[in-house]
Structure 1
Amino acid sequence: MSSAKTSSGVEAGLTALAVSLRGVTKAYDNGVMALGPLDLAVRKGEFISLLGPSGCGKSTALRLIAELSAPSSGIVRVARHEGDVLPGHGIGFVFQEPTLMPWASVRENVRLPLRLAGVPKAEARARADEALASVGLADFADAFPRELSGGMKMRVSLARALVTDPDILLMDEPFAALDEITRFRLNNDLLALWRALGKTIIFVTHSVFESVYLSQRVVVMTARPGRIQADIRIETVEPRGEEFRTSAAYSNYCRKVSAALAPSYSGQSTL
Structure 2
Amino acid sequence: MKAVKEKSLSIVIKGLSKTFSEDALKAVYVLKDVDLTIQRGEFYILLGPSGCGKSTLLNMIAGFLDKTDGQLDIYGENANRGTNRGFVFQSADSALFPWLTVEENVEFGLKMKKVPLEERKKMVHSYIELAGLSGHHHKFPSEISGGMKQRVQLARVLSNNPDILLMDEPFGALDAMTRRTMQKELIRIWQETNKTVIFVTHDIQEALMLGQRIGIMSVGPSSKITSTYEIDLPYPREITSPDFNHYYKIVQSHFD
- TM-score w.r.t. length of structure 1: 0.84
**Cα offsets for 1:177-200 (capped at 9, x unmatched):** 000000001111111111111111
Contact 1:230 1:260 in 2 (8 A): no
In the TM superposition, 1:154-173 aligns within 5 A as 154-173=150-169
Tell me, yes or no, if structure 1 residue 235 matches structure 2 residue 229. no
Aligned pairs (5 A) from 1:103-182: 103-182=99-178
- Measure how far apart 1:38 and its partner are: 0.4
Stretches of structure 1 that go unaligned for 5 or more consecutive residues are 1-15, 263-271
CA positional deviation for 1:87:
3.5
Deviation at 1:239, TM superposition (A): 2.6
Taking a change above 3 Å as real, the CA distance of residues 148 and 122 of structure 1, as seen in their structure-2 partners, is: same
> 1:53 aligned to 45, 49, 53, which one?
49
CA distance in 2, matches of 1:80, 1:141: 38
Q: Tell me how far 1:48 sits from its aligned partner.
A: 1.0
Query: Corresponding residue for 2:36?
Result: 40
Asked if residue 90 in structure 1 is aligned to residue 88 in structure 2, the reply is: no
- Tell me what 1:100 maps to: 96
Aligned to 1:13: none
Give the aligned partner of residue 11 of structure 2: 19
Aligned residue type for 2:15: G
The 3 A distance-change label for structure 1 pair 94 and 80 is farther
Name the CA shift for 1:88/1:17 in 2 (closer, same or farther; >3 Å): closer
Equivalent position of 2:192 in the other structure: 196
Higher normalized helix content (fraction of residues):
1
Matches of 1:157 and 1:88, distance apart in 2 = 23
Deviation at 1:141, TM superposition (A): 1.3
Instruction: Report the CA distance between 1:260 and its aligned residue.
Output: 2.1
**TM-score, normalised with respect to structure 2:** 0.89
| Structure-2 separation of matches of 1:85 and 1:125 | 31
RMSD: 2.0
Query: Deviation per CA, 1:203-233, whole angstroms, max 9, x where unpaired?
Result: 0001000001111111000011220121011
- What is the alpha-carbon distance in structure 2 between the residues aligned to residue 49 and residue 88 of structure 1? 23
Whether the 8 Å contact between 1:18 and 1:79 is mirrored in structure 2 is yes
Using a 3 Å threshold, how does the CA distance of structure 1 residues 247 and 69 change in structure 2: closer, same or farther?
A: same
Aligned match of 1:246: 240
Aligned length: 242
One-letter identity of the residue aligned with 2:11: V
Deviates more, 1:41-50 or 1:27-36: 27-36
Q: Assess, with a 3 A threshold, how the Cα gap between structure 1 residues 86 and 204 changes in structure 2: closer, same or farther.
A: closer
Question: Hey, what's the Cα distance between the residues in 2 that align with 1:18 and 1:136?
Answer: 30
Q: Is the 8 A contact 1:229 1:260 kept in 2?
A: no
Ranges in structure 2 where 5+ consecutive residues have no aligned partner: 1-7
What is the CA distance between 1:119 and its match in structure 2?
2.0
What letter is aligned with 2:109? P
Aligned mates of 2:241, 2:82 — CA distance in 1 = 39
Shift of 1:130: 1.1
Question: What is the distance in 1 between the residues matched to 2:80 and 2:60?
Answer: 15
How far apart are the structure 1 equivalents of 2:132 and 2:21? 43
The percentage of aligned residue pairs carrying the same residue is 38
The 2-side partners of 1:19 and 1:85 are apart by 9
Instruction: Give the counterpart letter for 1:154 in structure 2.
Output: Q
Describe the SS at the equivalent of 2:253. Answer: helix
CA distance in 2 between counterparts of 1:230 and 1:218 reads 8
**Aligned equivalent of 1:187:** 183
The residue aligned with 1:67 is 63
Q: 1:261: Cα distance to partner?
A: 3.3
